[in-house]
Amino acid sequence: MAKKIYTGNLSYKVDEEGLRELFSKIGEVQSVKIITDAGTGQSKGFGFVEMANDDDAARAVETLNGKDLEGRNISVSEARAKEERPFRSGGGYGRDR
C-alpha cells in the first residue's frame, strides 16, 4: 500500500523531477507533487511524495529528514491526513463595521 510523505523546507529551485530522483534512490516512487501558488506558479516550499510501500516510506523519512538539498535542510515526515475545514462564505466584503 502506498504511503504519502510530507517534504518541507524545499528550495524554490527544486522541481518535481529532482524530488522524484532523490526519493527514487530509496525506493519506488508512485507520485510527486510540489505545492505551488495558484496565482504565480511559484513553489510554496513544500510537497508530497507517495512511496510504493510502507518500508520504503519509513526508510525515506529516516534517511532524508534533515538532508541538504539545494542548500536547504529538508524536512521529511509521514504526511498527516488532510483536515476537514468548515465552509466559510463571503470573505468579509461589504460587512458593516
pTM, 2 dp:
0.81
Contact 66, 1 (CB under 8 A): no
**What are the chain's domains?**
3-47+55-78 (3.30.70.330)
Q: What are phi and psi of 18, to 5 degrees?
A: -65, -40
Contact 13, 86 (CB under 8 A): no
Q: Strand order in 29-36's β-sheet?
A: 29-36, 43-51, 3-8, 75-78
pLDDT at 64 over 80: yes
pLDDT (tens digit per residue) in 2-49: 799 999 999 999 999 999 999 999 999 999 999 999 999 999 999 999
Pick the closest to residue 78 from 16, 7, 1 (CA basis).
7
C-alpha cell at 26: 530509496
